[in-house]
Amino acid sequence: MFGILLLLNRLKVQNLLPYLTGGVLMWYFMLHSGIHATISGVLLAFAIPFSNGGEKSPSYLLQHYLHKPVAFFILPLFAMANTGFTVSDGWLTSLGQSNSLGIVTGLVIGKPLGIWLFVFIGVSLGLCSLPADLKWKNIIGAGFLGGIGFTMSIFITQLAYNHAEIVNNSKIAILIASLLSGLIGFIFLKLTLKTPHEQNEPTC
C-alpha cells in the first residue's frame, strides 16, 4: 500500500482523497499485522506531496485542516489518556502536601523565573540580544508558558517516586500547575504584546 501511495506521489496526484484512503487501509493492515499502527502515519506523511511548500500543496492543506482539531482535542485527549491518574476523595487535600506544593511552585514560579534569568544572563554576557520589538516582560510571559511541563514532568515523577498514591497526587498537581501556567502566560502575553494593528499606529 505504501508503494501505491509513493506511485501516486510520483505521478503528481494532488488530490488528498486517494492518499487518505490509502492511509486508512495501510493503518488497518499494519494494525492486524502486529506492527505498531502509528508507523502508518509516518509513512503516509512521506507519501503526501509537499510540492514547493506553498499554501496550495496537499501537505500544507492537510496540516491546515488538522491543526485545530489536533491541538485542541486529539493531543489533550491523548495526554490525558496516557496520564492514568485517578481523582479520589482526598485529591484536594493532597495539594497541600510537600511534593504537590513543590511541583506547583516549580512550574508556575520557578519556570518563568529561570527562563527570564537565563535569558538575562545571556544578554548581559553578550552571548545574545533581544529583537528590537521584544521586551523583557514578553520573556516573562513566554516563561509562564514554559511551565506547561506536562509530559516530561509526569515522566520525572514516575522516576522520582515509588508510592502509587504520591505519584497519582503529583500527576494531579502537574495538571493543575500546567493549566495555571498556560492561563497566566496567555493572559500576560495578551496584555503585553502589541497586535500588528497597534504596532502600525502613528505616535504623536
Tens digits of residue pLDDT in 116-172: 999 999 988 888 888 877 788 888 888 998 888 777 787 888 788 888 888 888 888
Q: For residue 204, tell me if it sits in a domain.
A: no
pLDDT, greater one: 101 or 150: 101
**Taking 70 as the threshold, does the pLDDT of residue 196 lie above it?**
no
10 and 39 part of one domain: yes
What residue type is 164 in one-letter code? A
Collapsing DSSP to helix, strand or coil, 144 comes out as helix
Match 505498531 to its residue by C-alpha cell.
Answer: 36
33 and 8 share one domain: yes
Query: pTM of the entire structure?
Result: 0.59
Is 5 within 8 Å of 26 (Cβ atoms)? Answer: yes
Instruction: Report yes or no: 177 and 108 within 8 Å, Cβ to Cβ.
Output: yes
pLDDT at residue 198 tops 60: no
Asked if residue 201 has pLDDT above 60, the reply is: no
Query: Looking at per-residue confidence, does 99 or 43 come out higher?
Result: 43
Structural domain including 78 reads 2-83
* 148 found inside a domain: yes
Instruction: Give residue 197's pLDDT.
Output: 53
**H-type helices in 37-124, by residue range?**
39-47, 58-69, 75-83, 91-94, 98-105, 111-124
pLDDT for 19-74, tens place per residue? 999 989 999 998 888 888 888 888 888 888 887 777 788 888 888 888 888 888 88
The pLDDT, as a whole number, for residue 204 is 40
pLDDT at 45 (0 to 100): 87
pLDDT tier at 202, thresholds 50, 70, 90 = very low
72 neighbors 122 (Cβ within 8 angstroms): no
Among 31, 65, 83, residue at a domain's last position: 83
What are the two backbone dihedrals, phi and then psi, of residue 89, each rounded to the nearest 5 degrees? -65, -30
Query: Do 132 and 110 belong together in one domain?
Result: yes
Q: Last residue of a domain, which of 83, 104, 121?
A: 83
- What's the residue count for the chain? 204
Place of cell 521584544: 134
Angle at CA 156, nearest 5°, toward 152 and 106?
Answer: 80
Among residues 83, 108, 124, which one ends one of the domains?
83
| Residue environment code for 119-145, b if the CB has 16+ CB neighbours within 10 A, otherwise e | beeeeeeeeeeeeeeeeeebbbbbbbb
Q: Are residues 46 and 67 in the same domain?
A: yes
Structurally, the chain folds into a number of domains equal to 2
CA distance linking residue 156 with residue 159, whole number of Å: 5
CA-based nearest residue to 41, from 82, 74, 73, 83: 74
- Same domain, yes or no, for 79 and 97? no
| Same structural domain, 131 and 40 | no
pLDDT of residue 24: 92
